[in-house]
Amino acid sequence: MGKTSKKPRLKDIASRANTTEATVSMVLNSRRYDQVSVKTRERIQKIAAEMGYVPNRMAQMLVQGRTDTILMLVTDLTSAFVNQYVALFSEIFEEKGYTLFPLASLSDTNREAKHIQFLSQQYFDGAICLEYDWHNQDCYADLDAKLPLVTRIWPESNFTCPFPHVVIDYEPGVTKLFEHFVQQDRKHIAMLITVPPTTQEIDQENPRVCLYRQVLEKFAYPQEHQAWYTIHLGPNLYKETYCQTKALMKDNPDIDVLLLHSSDLVLPVYQALIDLGIKIGTDVGVAAFDQYNQLEFLHPTITVVREPVEQIGQTMAGMLLDRLANKKLDPDAVRYDSELLIQQSTQR
C-alpha cells in the first residue's frame, strides 16, 4: 500500500532547512523576508518548492495587511459595454500584481449597499465603482474612510463627491442627438429604460432620465409625443426587450424613433422591428447609449452617444493606484464629455 502524501507544513520545511519555523514563515508569508539572509532565504524557498509547499494566503493577508485584490462595482455583468471596462481594469491591475473582482448591483440601491458593506470588511485593498449610486453616498463616504475608492459619476447639481472621481457629461452628446432627430423630422419618441428586477417605476432622479426630460423640454417635444417603457435587468432582459418593443410599436404606430437606455438592448430591439416588417432608419430611427466593439458588425450600424472608455479607464485606474501608494489626490473630478456617432440606424 502506497503512502498518503501529506501537505508540507512550515515546521517540516524548517526541519529540513535546519532553521526555525518563525524564520520559514518570515520568508514565505511575510513582507519582512529581507530580515533573513539571502543564502537562508534561497535555501528555504528551494526546499519549499521541492516539497510542494503552497503558501497560506489567509496567513499572508493577516501578516502583510493586504490582499492584492481590487473590487469593482458595476450595474450588470452581462453588459458588453460594462465588460469593456472589466477587461481594461483587469489588464491594468494584473500588471501591477492585483486581481480584479467585479460585483453587479443590477441598479438596485439596496443590493449595492450590501456590496459596499461587504467591501467595508476590508477583504480588498481598494475599490472602483463604475456607476455611482448617489442614494448610497453616506455608505460610500464611510467606505472611503476605510480603503481607497475611485468612482465614475454623472454631473449632479445636488451632490458633491468627496473622493477622487471621473465625471462623464452626457449632455453634449444627447443634445446633438436630439438636434439630429429634429433635422430628420422625427417627432414621436419612445424611451426604453432599464430598471432593477424588483422595480416597476422609472427612477426619476436617474441622471439619464433627468437628462432626457431636460432635452425633451428644450426641443419642445409635447407629452403626447413621448412614451416611456421599462425593461428589467436580469436573466430575462433580452426576451423582455424583444416583447416590449413589439408591443409598444403595435400600440404606438406613430413612433418614429426609439432611444435605448443601453446599447445592450440593440439586438432584441432590431429583431423585434425586423419581425414587424419595420425598416430601421427609414421607418423608425434607433439610437442608444454606450458603444462596444461588436456593434460595428451590426446592420444597419447603430447611432450611439458614447464616452471615451480607454481614457476614462486609464484615468480611474491611475487614480486608484496612486491612492494605493498613499499619494494624496485632489477630490476634484477629471471631466470627460460624451460624443455623438451618427450612423445608419437614424438616417432616413
Q: Which CATH architecture has domain 170-306+341-346?
A: 3-Layer(aba) Sandwich (3.40)
What size, in residues, is the chain?
348
Q: Give the CA distances from residue 323 to residues 169, 191, 327, in Å, rounded to whole numbers and listed in that order.
A: 24, 39, 5
Evaluate whether 10-64 and 69-169+309-337 have a shared fold. Answer: no
Domain borders along the chain are: 10-64, 69-169+309-337, 170-306+341-346
Q: What is the pLDDT of residues 123-162, one digit of tens each?
A: 788 989 887 766 666 677 667 667 888 988 887 545 667 7
Cα distance from N-terminal residue to C-terminal residue, the chain: 80
- Burial class from Cβ neighbours inside 10 Å (0-12, 13-18, 19+) for residue 238 reads middle
Q: What is the pLDDT of residues 24-83, one digit of tens each?
A: 887 877 656 677 888 888 898 888 888 887 766 655 555 555 778 898 988 888 889 999
Average pLDDT on 272-288 reads 97
Identify the pLDDT of residue 96: 92
Task: Give me the percent of the chain exceeding a pLDDT of 70.
Answer: 86
Q: Which CATH architecture has domain 69-169+309-337?
A: 3-Layer(aba) Sandwich (3.40)
Identify the pLDDT of residue 238: 93
Identify the pLDDT of residue 307: 95
Higher-confidence residue: 303 or 39? 303
Average pLDDT on 163-183 reads 92
Give 32-51 as a DSSP string: TGGGS-HHHHHHHHHHHHHT
Average pLDDT on 264-289 reads 97
Distance CA 44, CA 109 (A): 50
Task: Give me the percent of the chain exceeding a pLDDT of 90.
Answer: 44
Distance CA 271, CA 273 (A): 5
Q: What's the CATH fold of domain 10-64?
A: 434 Repressor (Amino-terminal Domain) (1.10.260)
Residues 6+ apart with CB under 8 A from 224: none
Residues 6+ apart with CB under 8 A from 191: 212, 226, 227, 228, 229, 258, 259, 261
Residues 6+ apart with CB under 8 A from 17: 24, 40, 43, 44, 47
E strands along the chain, which residues? 69-74, 99-104, 126-129, 149-153, 165-169, 189-195, 226-232, 257-260, 285-289, 303-306, 334-337, 339-341
Distance CA 71, CA 146 (A): 14
Please answer whether residues 165 and 132 qualify as being in contact, where contact means their C-beta atoms are separated by less than 8 angstroms: yes
Name the β-bridge partners of 204.
none
Please answer whether residues 108 and 122 qualify as being in contact, where contact means their C-beta atoms are separated by less than 8 angstroms: no
**Angle in degrees, CA 224, 341, 191, rounded to 5:** 25
